[in-house]
Amino acid sequence: MTTYLIQNAAVLGGEPTDLLLADGVVREMGPGLSADGAEVVDATGLVALPGLVDLHTHLREPGREDAETVETGTQAAAMGGFTAVHAMANTEPVADTAGVVEQVWRLGREAGFCDVYPVGAVTVGLQGERLAELGAMADSAARVRVFSDDGKCVSDAVLMRRALEYVKAFDGVVAQHAQEPRLTEGAQMNEGELSGRLGLTGWPAVAEEAIIARDCLLAAHVGSRLHVCHVSTAGSVEIVREAKRKGVDVTAEACPHHLILTDELAATYDPIYKVNPPLRTAADVEALRAGLADGTIDIVATDHAPHPHEDKDCEWAAAAFGMLGLETALSVVQATMVDPGLLDWAGVAERMSYAPARIGRVADHGRPLEVGAPANVVLYDPAARRTIDPTESASLSRNTPYRGMELPGRVVATFLRGRPTVLDGKLA
């Protein structure tokens, strides 16, 4: 394996130093390093972060290879600085058996751009009627520890309680898509004055908040781990904050698009902005940023949701929910959290690497950059600026909401166990 000597990298934004990557680990750190035969990477002006970990990615394979494959999705992940992703279960067939999760896990290993940790479905076929083979998936080669019916809510309180009880046996976590189904029938966008004016059925904040409140009570009752997917409202932030204050073992994520975009974009009727949960108000955006800054919201997760042209380029009501996120997440976090002074780069590492790895119980990722640690490293140029062009995406799909928008920063290199998956801003 090639040895890489990274020179003058600002680790977590600190003083420039060198990192020697050899045999899959960080072999040495410090100023003025040298190594015969090593390939030198000049990181002057770049920030070095631990490889990012995404707890919420849709890779679509098996079943929707027209939207994304494990290979193209992990290429997009690498371009965004990720070295590990958790692949959601709403594939076709659903990842609700040991066989399907092992298939996704193996596809990730074969592609080799980042490690893929399959998320197992909570219920068979995501139907919310009976529990899936949670134990078998946990015992499989994929060693599943995160379970979610994402895209659908586990709305039956008894089933949710049973799932929370079951996963305790192997230190798993249930990641809930918080959406009360009856309150969101036919929902198209955030409920408010604008939805009424546009004639689109509203998705009320209380439909998310009611499920989060219920699940926090259930998690406290059975003493299990709960993770809340894509928190989108100010009320949800307050509920999670209060549950944590009371000692409930709950974690939560915010998505980049909910940190930067608002429901006003629905007025364009451009379905590129249609997502579930929907874009919310400016006040919700501010509450999410504050919650992420103070640790109420533990992590940033992308909810990367690729869709083919025919599923998004149509009238709003017929369009699929979801948008791309892997390749732009770090830039959005810089724009919304770092540049305004809400987070420093150490805070970014905590919320985009350490914490998601802890929640997903991933041992080889989310580790500080130190001698002996796995050489999962991102080199990022915070001074760069780029205009987002969907045609340049490594994803198989093009449904980015940032089309034509100028965002700060650029991933220059990503190393997975000391091997570059991205170098000079291109797939290696």
Residues annotated catalytic, as ranges? 303
Task: Return phi, psi of residue 52, to 5°.
Answer: -75, 150
Other CB atoms closer than 10 Å to residue 30's CB: what's the count? 10
CA distance 379 to 409: 11
- Inter-residue contact 240 to 208 (CB < 8 Å): no
Looking at residue 283, its amino acid is A
Q: Give the chain's radius of gyration (CA, Å).
A: 21
The H-or-E segment that residue 101 falls in is helix 98-111
Taking alpha carbons only, the member of 56, 60, 53, 14 closest to residue 308 is 60
Q: Show the beta-strand stretches assigned E in 267-321.
A: 299-300
- The C-alpha angle 215, 205, 326, rounded to 5 degrees, equals 80
- Beta strand 47-50 pairing with 377-387: antiparallel
| Residue 422: CA count within 13 A, CB half-sphere | 26
- Structure-block tokens of residue 19: 């990192």
- The C-alpha angle 330, 179, 298, rounded to 5 degrees, equals 35
Other CB atoms closer than 10 Å to residue 286's CB: what's the count? 12
Handedness of CA 109, 111, 114, 120 (dihedral sign): negative
In b/e form, how buried is each residue of 202-220, taking b as 16+ CB within 10 angstroms? Answer: bbbbebbbbbbbbbbebbb
Residue 343 three-state SS: coil
Helix axes 70-79, 98-111, angle to 10 degrees: 50
